[in-house]
Amino acid sequence: MERIAVIDFETTGITPSSYCRATEIAVVILERGQIVDRYQSLMNAGVRVPGFIEQLTGISNAMLRSAPPAERVMNEVNEFVGTTPLMAHNAAFDQKFWDYELGLIRRTRLQKFACSLLLARRLMPTAPNHKLGTLNAFAQLPHTGKAHRAMADAEMAANLTAHLAQQLRGTHGLRELSHELLCTLQKVPAAKINEHLKKHRGF
């Protein structure tokens, strides 16, 4: 499988706006099932972190006061990622913030997001639930650090992505995997995933 950039944001809320912004971003580059590069930074967008978010993430207003401006971080991380295909766990969330923050520096996303949450729902149906931490524990993947910090979550999502790719090869017999195929599989109804995978077996 080609290089994939696995991304995770920490934010001050759920929906990006002038009052709800990213506070931290991490990107892990996954290549042939191995992590080969990383980017991580806090980012100061000039918004206040609510108390419950600080308790959840450990990212405080004091930490952000000394963090680099969000514009600088997004320029750096956009250069770091380039046109590498994107992946996130619950990608709908991270995609919203990626697009919003890129828009503020007058940049536009050029590549699709694949979603390890949607893929896991189809390929790991016996997991207790499909939260990132639960899936990593269920698959006995390495512990990467404190949850709800961007690098720990990005590494967990990267390890999960590698595990899902191995399942597609080992359990389902797919020889060739691509980011485009992952984007296709995540849209297939869970009840029809095995039937759909049979069509790709051996290709």
Helix %, strand %, coil % for the chain, to 5? Answer: 45, 20, 35
Residue 67 is predicted with a pLDDT of 98
CB atoms within 10 A of CB 46: 9
What gap in Å lies between CA 165 and CA 171, rounded to an integer?
Answer: 10
pLDDT tens-place values along the chain, 203 residues long: 789 999 999 999 999 999 999 999 999 999 998 999 999 999 999 999 999 999 999 999 999 999 999 999 999 999 999 999 999 999 999 999 999 999 999 999 999 999 999 999 999 999 999 999 999 999 999 988 877 899 999 999 999 999 999 999 988 889 889 999 999 999 999 999 988 898 877 54
Residue 72 is predicted with a pLDDT of 98
86, two tokens = 């994107």
Residue 31 is predicted with a pLDDT of 95
170: CB partners within 8 A, 6+ apart? none
What gap in Å lies between CA 24 and CA 44, rounded to an integer?
Answer: 8
Whether the CB-CB separation of 127 and 138 falls below 8 Å is answered with yes
